[in-house]
Amino acid sequence: MAELGPGEGMATDVAEQAEGYARLLDAGLAPIAAVSRRIAELKPRFVLFTARGTSDHAALFAAYLTEIRLGIPTGLASPSAITVYGARPDLRDALVVGVSQSGGSPDLTEVVRVARDAGAHTLAVTNNPDSPLADIAEMHVDVLAGKERAVAATKTYTAELMALLLLVESVRGIDAADRAELDRLPELARGVLADPTATQLAARYRFADRLVTTGRGYAYPTARETALKLMETSYLSALAFSGADLLHGPLAMADPDVPVLAVVGDGPGGKAMGEVLGRLAERRADVLTVGSGAAPANAVRIPTPRVDERFSPLLDILPLQQLALSLAIARGEDPDAPRGLKKVTETL
């Protein structure tokens, strides 16, 4: 088999995401619904997600969903509290969810093991049903993404988003309107991926030294994942802030020489970005907005389809992945194999 050129693996992974959505809606929904029914029966008093890297951003999205849609207090666990400091918190009646593409991270496996011993119900969300994390957890959800070619995660990230979305919504109960909108996502994703705007914009940021990404609510995980992709593929100094946090001290770094990538939908989170965009305009910042929300007159924009804000992260991240891919290649890098990175995080 011919060796792939720089970025060809990541490009193929990115292109397969619409099919990944369709696969989860078809083959994945029934097993996810079965896990959701079990969670509903257990009635956890709170939920803790534990993850690393890209999966941590998917977990953050799920945390927003769980609190907003299910009304259950939710947080992100600090694995080092258990693996480094030996903490043994009281987790009776909690649901602890480990999110990991490989399922091979020792620290996450240890957190889930300790949580189960401490009385928690445990769930693993992975792309590998035979992994140590899936084996140690009481329940498992397979995100069905298939083998990912590039080290930088793309299709496994969006598969985690979709699986976690279906999990939470199935606990609540997916009505006909939501099911119809979910069924539109694969085709909408194909349309977003066919838009060349993100690729064309890569040259605009080729010589940037640093960037800022920002968003609020459901868009905040997208901002964080975008910053990570830019750092690990183009070696840019990319800082992610919620829109609310950006309005404090970090706003001082915004100027025409520091591009800002803002994820802006037309739901409550996107509307809450209005003041942020206004303040950035006052500072004459170089702003690129991604999403279905309105953009200020001075901003460059990559539009995405208008959907319920819960579903926007599955579309908004796609052009930002394309931007990271094209920017890395423009800067002479190979995003398939970022320097010094491995697919499995082995921190303990």
Residue 62 Cα to chain centre, angstroms: 9
pLDDT at res. 222:
98
Q: Does residue 150 sit in helix, strand or coil?
A: coil
Please tell me the predicted confidence (pLDDT) of residue 344.
61
pLDDT given at position 1: 44
Alpha helices by DSSP H, listed for 251-340, are: 268-271, 274-282, 313-330
How many C-beta atoms surround the C-beta of residue 137 within 10 A?
Answer: 26
Q: What is the pLDDT of residue 342?
A: 64
DSSP class of residue 127? Answer: S
Strands (E) across the chain are located at: 46-51, 74-76, 94-100, 121-126, 139-142, 210-215, 237-242, 260-263, 287-291, 300-303
Burial class (CB in 10 A: 0-12, 13-18, 19+), 218: buried
Per-residue pLDDT at 253: 81
What's the 3-state SS for 9-43?
Answer: HHHHHHHCHHHHHHHHHHHHHHHHHHHHHHHHHHC
Domain boundaries, the chain: 8-191, 195-330
What separation in angstroms does the CA of 324 have from each of 115, 154, 232, 236? 36, 11, 9, 10
**C-alpha–C-alpha distance, residues 92 and 75, integer Å:** 15
How much is the pTM?
Answer: 0.96
On the question of a common fold for 8-191 and 195-330, the answer reads yes
- Tokens 């319920």 sit at which residue? 308
Q: pLDDT tens for the chain, 348 residues: list them.
A: 456 788 999 999 999 999 999 999 999 999 999 999 999 999 999 999 999 999 999 999 999 999 999 999 999 999 999 999 999 999 999 999 999 999 999 999 999 999 999 999 999 999 999 999 999 999 999 999 999 999 999 999 999 999 999 999 999 999 999 999 999 999 999 999 999 999 999 999 999 999 999 999 999 999 999 999 999 999 999 999 999 999 988 888 888 889 999 999 999 999 999 999 999 999 999 999 999 998 888 889 999 999 999 999 999 999 999 999 999 999 999 999 887 666 665 655
Nearest to 127 by CA among 146, 153, 111, 107: 146
**Residue 174 to residue 163: CA distance in whole angstroms:** 14
Reading the block at residue 169, the tokens are 């919504």
The per-residue pLDDT for 151 is: 92
pLDDT recorded at residue 299: 84
Hunting for tokens 């993850």 — which residue is that?
51
Looking at residue 345, its pLDDT comes to 59
d(CA 51, CA 151): 17
Residue 131 token pair: 């992994």
Query: CA torsion sign, 39 to 40 to 46 to 51?
Result: positive
Q: Check: CB of residue 132 under 8 Å from CB of residue 104.
A: yes
Nearest CA to 46 out of 114, 143, 120 is that of 120
The CATH architecture assigned to 195-330 reads 3-Layer(aba) Sandwich (3.40)
Domain 8-191 belongs to what topology? Rossmann fold (3.40.50)
Phi, psi dihedrals of residue 289, rounded to the nearest 5°: -105, 145
Contact of 270 with 219, CB cutoff 8 Å:
yes
